[in-house]
Every structure is written in structure tokens, then in C-alpha cells.
Amino acid sequence: MRSSRIFGFVVLLLTVRWVYGFEDLNVTEVSYVEGYGYGVSANPLMVGLTLIQGAAAKGAVCLDGTLPGYHLHRGYGSGARSWLIQLEGGGWCNTIRNCVYRKTTRRGSSTYMEKQIPFTGILSNKAEENPDFFNWNRVKVRYCDGASFSGDSQDEVAKLYFQGQRIWLAAMEDLMSKGMRYANQALLSGCSAGGLASILHCDEFRELFPRTTKVKCLSDAGLFLDAVDVSGGRTLRNMYGGVVSLQGVQKNLPSTCLNHLDPTSCFFPQNLIANIQTPLFLLNAAYDAWQLQASLAPPSADPHGYWRGCKLNHAQCTASQIQFLQGFRNQMLNAIKGFSMSRKNGLFINSCFAHCQTERQDTWFADDSPLIGNKVSPMRLTVFVMQNIKWKLKK
């Protein structure tokens, strides 16, 4: 293992690992119920689902009209007035057809949500697994709108409610009433589509609190790039275009971006991060497994399956495929070049084939996590970096 300084910030070049990737544009996070969402955590804390009563009166409903919800585990001791909000990921829906399907799943209806979910990784309540946040108030906000908590529209014929923005507001209002208003420090985080949401809502989150409250944001695997796929097309841009237009996202995108770019471009975080005023930390794999699977080399762009072996096992990638992947990595580093120059921001870009590293115990903090200099895991380094570039989250 070694580290290099690029553009004035540290990028860690770790032993490349493959962590579960996905083919489906509507799935961006590891499932709780498929067995590997727990990482290596033994007997994880199970936290119950709380539906937001009164949300429907505000129009804050899931795709199918059911109530949104979250899972809350209370903090204690030194963490009693510290809050960590984790926005769930789970892809997007960009057409009536796939949104209608989505509302028959937990990603579009609270009817199908698990009544309890495991809190692992950054949400763990065990000091040995999560030494920095184990005793904070930790919240997992469920994702059931399909537009990274940013839509504001509906389709009466299909009975679809695109109310992600209202869900975000209703969840924050409910949590503020349950003690978050008294926080002395608060961290908004999210994985994948939730990582994008943590970027979109970062400054809004800051405005919920008085200036005396320390507020930061963390985006895990949310740096989705407007990249060219292996066929020369733009699979993810086409997908995002549908999400933005169908779900009325434009009205909730920042004017600082819309003043000079089209709405679809303003749904890409690379065009948003430079103008975010609240301290933001980016955690991402340079060879993001989901983006490789679903954005760079999806079946639609690779009908003959030339990339199938490479996607399933990076050791099978040809020299030209490795060069293509290296180009994607370089694009990611270029996208955050300006962002990295601000001392209030932080980032950790590793050379893993991974997606969502804060929620899995084995990538967040475990005995066999990758080590840097045989001393510290990448996720502990993330916290260290946060603490040493004006990112101190604990007293």
C-alpha cells in the first residue's frame, strides 16, 4: 500500500478489492436481507421502523402514498446531544413504468419496508465497531421516492407521488421535535443515492440549526459522474434526465447551478459540490463498483458482453479495459480538484472496486479491514482526516 498527493490532497492507492456491484440502475445499495449487508458485525443492533405520523397531511408520502419513516436509536453520555442522520440509498426511477414497479417494493412503499433493520458500520452501537459515533443519536431515514429525496410532483393517472423533498422536510421536522433541535453537533450522511441526497440537502441541513451547532455532511459513494459509457453513450445522464423531468426535481435544485447549466447536469454532484457552503466530506471508490456495472458498462452499452468478465472479476480485465477504468478514475479526481482546495472540505478516494463503505462493518471498521502502514483502517483514517482539516466532529 502507498499514498500519493494529487491536486493537494491525499489519495490512497490501496490493494484493489471487489465489493458487490450491481447491474440494475434502480438498485444502488447492498440489501439488508441478502445476507451480506451486515459486513462482519456479529449480532448487530436491530432498530425498529418509525412511521412519520402527520406526514400525509403535508403531502410527504412514498411513491404509493404510504407514510415515510426512519429508524432511530437514541444516544447517551457524551453523545446525547450529537446526531448522525443517514439517508438510505437505493437507485432512482425515471419512467412511469419503473416507478410503478418500484412502489411495490420497500424503495417505494413503507408497506414493504423491514420493520427492523441492522445498525452496522457508522450506525453501530458498539464502541469496538464504531468508536467515533457509537453513542450518538443515530438515524436511518428510509428512501421511498426514487429521486434522492428531491422530487416534487405526482402522476394522478398512475397514482404515483413524487414527493421526496417533502419527505426530507417532514423527516427533519419530526426529528427536530424529538430532540435534534438541541444538538451541539450534527452530521448528515448517506450512501449511494442517499449520498447524492446528502449533497443536495447539505446546506438545507445546516439551516435547521443555530450557528452555534457544528454541522457537517458526509457523502458515501454519492459522487456519480456524468461519464461516457463503453459504447460512447451516456447511460447515467439519460437516466438522470428522466428522473429530473418526471419527478419535478428542477424546482429543488440550487440556482447557483441552474444559472449556467441544464437541470440534468445540476443533478450530478460534480456540478454541485463547489458551491456548497457547509463543510462536506466525500468518501468514494475511484473504481466505483456500481458505476462500473450500471453506468459505464451496462448490458445496454455492452450487448455482446465484452465487459462481463471484467465487471465480475477485475483480474480478467484487458489492458484496454484497465485503461478505460483508469480514465474514469482520472475523471473523478479532476471532478473534485477544485473542491479539494477548500480547507473546510475533506475527501477520501480509495482505489477499491467498492460501493458504500460506511454502512458495511468490514469496510468501516473491523479486525481485517485494509490497513495503511499496518496501523489504521481506511475508515478510521477518514475520521482522522475529518478531524485534521477543520472537521473535528467530537469534543
Question: What residues are labeled active site?
Answer: 192, 288, 355
Distance CA 173, CA 130 (A): 27
Distance CA 221, CA 285 (A): 7
With cell 447492498, the residue in question is 30
Cell of 161: 407521488
Cell of 226: 456524468
Distance CA 64, CA 82 (A): 33
Distance CA 222, CA 152 (A): 21
Q: From 65, 73, 67, select the one nearest 52 (Cα to Cα).
A: 67
Between strands 45-51 and 116-119, the pairing is antiparallel
Dihedral (CA of 243, 246, 250, 252) sign: negative
With cell 491536486, the residue in question is 7
Distance CA 223, CA 191 (A): 10
> Residue type at 45?
L
Residue 251: CB atoms within 10 A of its CB come to: 12
Q: Is 305 exposed, middle or buried (0-12, 13-18, 19+ CB in 10 A)?
A: exposed
Residues listed for the chain? 395
Largest CA distance in the chain: 59
For residue 224, the number of C-alpha atoms closer than 13 Å in the C-beta half-sphere is 33
Q: What is the DSSP letter of 275?
A: G
Distance CA 280, CA 199 (A): 8
- In angstroms, what CA-CA distances link 291 with 105, 234, 269? 23, 12, 14
